[in-house]
Amino acid sequence: MPGPLAGIRVLDLTTVLVGPYCTQVLAEMGAEVTKVEAPEGDVVRLIGPGRSPGMGCMFLTVNRGKRSIVLDLKRPEARQVLLRLARNADVLVTNIRPQAMARLGLDYPALRAENPRLVYASVLGYGQDGPYAPRPAYDDLMQGATTVAALNARVGDGRPGYVPLAMVDRITGLAAVGAINAALLARERGGEGQLVEVPMFETMLTFVLGDHLGGKVFDPPLDAGGYGRLLSPDRRPYRTRDGHVCTMIYNDRQWRSFCAAVGWQDLVATDPRFASHATRTEHIDEILAMLSEIFRERTTAEWLKLLAEADLPVTPVHDLESIFEDVHLQATGFFDTEEHPSEGRLTRMAVPLRFSGTPTGERAPAPRLGEQSEAILAEAGYGEAEIAALLQGGAVRQAD
């Protein structure tokens, strides 16, 4: 595949979402990603509706552009296959816990002995120098541990709640993409790879506390923490006469434009709460409550027109039906279809990244379990008799 990472070979020993999302983005940048799966396959193959076993909708959307080889890494022969593949790889990504990788003889020292230029990226639950190091981690746990669930309680009905998407997995996956690319750059300068550790807990906590550490930045603290605007009860899509609309009136120019558009011309000049960004932040609950009232006076269509004409940020509140009718996404071709060799016609999303000098190309459909096992072995130099022996012994499996 073309793209800025064309020629970079990635071994993907990841499952579920945090690791596969990372390697999906690497594939979107042009890397050649080989997904190494256990005989039972990535559990995400079983999530959501599908047309055939092991090809669920979530797997199809987060594993495009990859190839699949099945290795039973509990077998010594399969371990030798992986070590052989690693000799010509640039990156290995795993979210298997380090203790398990060590038991398999596939920890960083073992892989470095095979390939000193390898970037070995370990996506972890927790940093490995603390007491939580060996614990398993999932998105829900991380939302609770990093105060997301408690913050939702503050803006809701008092009960802790999760954000309805695997937010921590995807944020950590993107952090891993950045760390891997930085390590590849360092390798180009210094000649050797390195171990890269990306912990979900600490990565997500820096993400959350960047907004909500607040006065706890100071010693002693100046307040109890929390960003008032984000925690205001009226920070939500505004109810209109016939629906909802999203807008954010933020800086001084935007407030002047909004007040002029709705007949509040004297408000900025006479009401000290509107005098500056600082005073608006101090009185954010009152101000958002005022906005909530005025937005009920017009229809959604009227607000979309009025705010756009005033050059103010505005967007409709899409759901899982209307998003496909968004005029911008239609114009940019964000959604299109592909013909999957085994799953038929699928809706797919475009690669959102654009590179003027190294544009990305077409991605292959998500692979069936072990679809390219034989081809990958042949590329690694295994002969026909060796491949047959590995398949017959069960160390490697090929898709039916």
Q: What is the mean pLDDT of residues 62-71?
A: 97
Asked if pLDDT for residue 122 goes beyond 80, the answer is yes
User: For 29-166, where are the alpha helices, taking DSSP H only?
Assistant: 57-62, 76-87, 98-103, 108-114, 139-145, 148-155
The residues assigned a catalytic role are 169
**pLDDT value of residue 289:** 92
Q: pTM of the prediction?
A: 0.93
Q: What is the mean pLDDT of residues 59-71?
A: 96
Domains of the chain with bracketed CATH: 9-207+332-397 (3.40.50.10540), 238-316 (3.30.1540.10)
Q: What is the pLDDT of residues 257-276, one digit of tens each?
A: 999 999 988 877 788 888 88
**pLDDT value of residue 1:** 60
Provide the strand spans (E) within the chain: 9-13, 32-37, 66-71, 91-94, 119-124, 195-199, 238-239, 244-247, 314-316, 335-340, 344-349, 396-397
Q: What is the pLDDT of residues 181-225, one digit of tens each?
A: 999 999 999 999 999 999 999 999 999 999 999 999 999 999 999
**pLDDT value of residue 34:** 98
pLDDT tier at 362 (50, 70, 90 boundaries)?
confident
Asked if pLDDT for residue 326 goes beyond 70, the answer is yes
Q: What is the pLDDT of residues 223-265, one digit of tens each?
A: 999 998 899 888 999 999 999 999 999 998 999 899 999 998 8
Strands, sheet with 119-124, edge to edge from the N-terminal-most edge strand: 195-199, 119-124, 91-94, 9-13, 32-37, 66-71, 396-397
Does residue 178 contact residue 22 with C-beta atoms inside 8 Å? no
Mean pLDDT (the chain) is 95
**pLDDT value of residue 274:** 84
Tokens of 205: 């906590």
Q: What is the mean pLDDT of residues 283-299?
A: 93
**pLDDT value of residue 77:** 96
